[in-house]
């Protein structure tokens, strides 16, 4: 590391140990509105909907529910047990119970 003093400020510059060896790290940029975590049903629902490129209205049509239901589920409300089965199918989840 080189240190250059300019009056009362010091500026640090770094030199690579192996300047001929460069790496570029690439990662996909998350889509707008994509949840940072997918721990709740609503976050998983929003992520799946965005992955499929669907609006809330289009997802509601696929699930045969009102778009307000999709909004409320994504905001944390829980669907009724009957509708939860549809949501799990939409998510592609395995509905079997391990005993």
**Per-residue pLDDT, 35:** 81
How wide is the angle at C-alpha 83 spanned by C-alphas 82 and 88, nearest 5°?
110
Q: Are 24 and 17 in contact (CB under 8 A)?
A: no
pLDDT value of position 21: 60
Which of the two residues, 78 and 22, has the higher pLDDT score? 78
Reported as a single tens digit per residue, the pLDDT across 32-91 is 788 887 788 899 999 999 999 999 999 999 999 999 999 999 999 999 999 989 999 999
Name the helix (H) or strand (E) containing 59: helix 56-63
Structural domains of the chain, with CATH: 34-99 (1.10.260.40)
Query: According to the model, what pLDDT value does residue 97 have?
Result: 47
pLDDT at 58: 97
């Amino acid at each position: 590391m080189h240190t250059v003093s300019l009056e009362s400020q010091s500026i640090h510059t770094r030199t690579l140990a192996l300047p001929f060896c460069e790496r570029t790290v690439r990662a996909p940029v998350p889509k707008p509105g994509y949840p940072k975590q997918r721990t709740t049903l609503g976050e998983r629902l929003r992520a799946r909907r965005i992955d499929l490129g669907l609006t809330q209205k289009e997802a509601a049509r696929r699930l045969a529910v009102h778009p307000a239901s999709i909004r409320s589920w994504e905001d944390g409300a829980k669907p009724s047990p009957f509708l939860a089965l549809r949501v799990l199918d939409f998510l592609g989840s395995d509905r079997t119970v391990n005993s």
